Amino acid sequence: MIEIKVPKLNNNDTSYILVEWLAADGEAVAIGDPLVVVETSKTAEELLAEDAGILRRVVAEGSDCEPGQVIARLQAPGEAVPQQVSVAAGRQDAAGEIVITAPARALMDELGVPAERVRTLGKKVIRREDVEALTRAPEPDARAGLVALSKAQRLTGDVVTRSHQTIPAAFTAVKIDVTGTAKLTRDLSKHARTLIGLSELVVKAVADQRAEFPLLFATLVEPGYVRLAEGAHVGVTIDVGKGLFIPVVRDADARPLDSVARELMDYRMTALRGSFRERDLEGANIAVTLHNDGAITLAVPIVYPGHVCALSLAATQQEVAPADDGGFTVRQTVQLGLAFDHRVVNGRDAAMFLGAVKQMLETPRRWLE
């Protein structure tokens, strides 16, 4: 029989949840058929059949599963079926309201934790880590007013902590006059038949600096050595109220502006649907964080572990400035910040990099070339 194993879906999680089987036990499946939905801390991934055969499930819905774990087998027609042993199968509690995974159930039995207590967590699937957290904490009446962070937010916290602990980051920023460019975005959007705003222009302008500033797109692999990137893979923050995601625009330096803009629009729609896949979120070598709230004048981004730098785009501000005729004019400006790993990049290089991006954004006609 052919074993179906859980692939490694990201570099952050050590376990996932098998949410739903899409093919019935004993059903004949063909290559490419959807088999199962596995949930990570950020996304839900649909795994497809890589071979044909009769599906024999091993792991039940609601169970924890790890990369490399066998969750099912494919039986060839006429092949004898070996005795099946369910691994880490989850089961519903007596009320049928929640699914308690096998590791969680075992720990509950060991510690004498009743199902009524885990129901207070308000989760549909109870994992071992939930029981551990519950038993480490005071009784519920002593926890009044406390709210548990989501797994995605806890993961964000882990990444931010690792960044602060391992990356000696410095920060600099530049003010950019985008008056002319902002006026041009309507024409650019009409020509490209997709929304092109300042965010899209910044992503493209940043990506286009890779050839001249390769170290800012590099990866520090060990002290004193970096690996240069073959393309500008720009991660862009998107938060529409359903969590923070950083999808990746790959090879943005080799693509035209309208292609970059269309992909960013697709990502915004994906965020609204809550349907990001792990492949959308992996592989960035630089990040642009967007801070569009009108009250934000400057933001300091976090350098993602494995990256050398991250940029922040603050909201557009109205500013009164002297005019050439001796009077005054109103211009639109933004602050573009750059946090960088000082082990790899020095202040002069950071300033030159920001200067190059600034020049592109302050020369609006170049976007029509």
Rounded Cα distance between 27 and 57, Å, is 10
229 and 141 share a domain?
A: no
309 and 226 share a domain?
A: yes
Q: What is the mean predicted confidence (pLDDT) over 321-326?
A: 84
How many structural domains does the chain have?
3
CATH number at residue 28: 2.40.50.100
Query: At 48, is the pLDDT very low, low, confident or very high (cuts 50, 70, 90)?
Result: very high
Q: Give me the pLDDT at residue 369, please.
A: 67
Better pLDDT: 60 or 152: 60
286 and 333 share a domain?
A: yes
> Angle 364-211-200 (CA atoms, 0-180°, nearest 5)?
40
67 and 171 share a domain?
A: no
Instruction: Give the dihedral sign, CA 26/76/62/99.
Output: positive
Q: Give me the pLDDT at residue 79, please.
A: 67
pLDDT over 60 (residue 284): yes
CATH number at residue 357: 3.30.559.10
128 and 66 share a domain?
A: no
Q: Which residue has the tokens 């940029």?
A: 311
Exposed e or buried b per residue across 322-337, where buried means at least 16 C-beta atoms within 10 angstroms of its C-beta: eeeeeeeeeebbbbbb
Neighbour order of strands in the sheet with 125-126: 91-92, 99-100, 125-126
Phi first, then psi, for residue 318 (nearest 5°) are -90, 135
pLDDT in tens, 194-221: 899 999 999 999 999 999 999 999 999 9
115 and 11 share a domain?
A: no
Residue where a domain stops, chosen among 104, 124, 148: 148
Write the single-letter amino acid at 222: E
Is 84 a member of any domain? Answer: no
Return mean pLDDT, the chain: 87
Q: What is the mean predicted confidence (pLDDT) over 315-325?
A: 88
Q: What is the mean predicted confidence (pLDDT) over 304-330?
A: 91
Is 352 a member of any domain? Answer: yes
Is 194 a member of any domain? Answer: yes
pTM above 0.85, yes or no: no
134 and 209 share a domain?
A: no
Write the single-letter amino acid at 174: V
106 and 204 share a domain?
A: no
pLDDT over 80 (residue 141): no
pLDDT in tens, 331-341: 999 999 999 99
pLDDT over 80 (residue 189): yes
Q: Which residue has the tokens 């500033």?
A: 213
Q: Give me the pLDDT at residue 144, please.
A: 66
Is 82 a member of any domain? Answer: no
109 and 171 share a domain?
A: no
Domain range for 135 is 91-148
62 and 140 share a domain?
A: no
